[in-house]
């Protein structure tokens, strides 16, 4: 599942995100969602989330 719909991304879910610093390379980081930062219900580049380790990125894939 991709991370473009806010309803699909849940707090506590394991996700794969692209952090701001890695947007050019597309390097993905895996983590657990702590907070949803995007307010809109849909975002074409992925819902922005805060991971439990403090990193912020846009969800590319929901792993669990």
Q: Residue 1: what pLDDT?
A: 81
Determine, yes or no, domain membership for 33. yes
Q: Residue 8: what pLDDT?
A: 95
- 25 phi, psi to nearest 5 deg: -85, -25
Determine, yes or no, domain membership for 27. yes
Q: Residue 57: what pLDDT?
A: 97
- pLDDT, tens digit (0-9, with 9 covering 90-100), for 2-45: 899 999 999 999 999 999 999 999 999 999 999 999 999 999 99
Beta strands in the chain (DSSP E): 14-19, 28-36, 48-51, 56-62
Domain carrying residue 25: 6-62
Determine, yes or no, domain membership for 19. yes
Determine, yes or no, domain membership for 35. yes
Determine, yes or no, domain membership for 24. yes
Q: Residue 15: what pLDDT?
A: 97
Determine, yes or no, domain membership for 1. no
Q: Residue 64: what pLDDT?
A: 81
**β-bridge mates for residue 16, sequence order:** 30, 61
What's the whole-model pTM score?
Answer: 0.91
Q: What is the CATH number of the domain that holds 43?
A: 2.30.30
């Amino acid at each position: 599942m991709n991370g473009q719909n806010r309803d699909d991304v849940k707090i506590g879910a394991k996700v794969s995100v692209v952090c701001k610093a890695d947007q050019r390379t597309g390097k993905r980081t895996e983590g657990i969602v702590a907070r949803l930062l995007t307010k809109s219900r849909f975002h074409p580049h992925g819902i922005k989330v805060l991971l439990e380790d403090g990193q912020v990125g846009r969800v590319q894939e929901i792993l669990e």
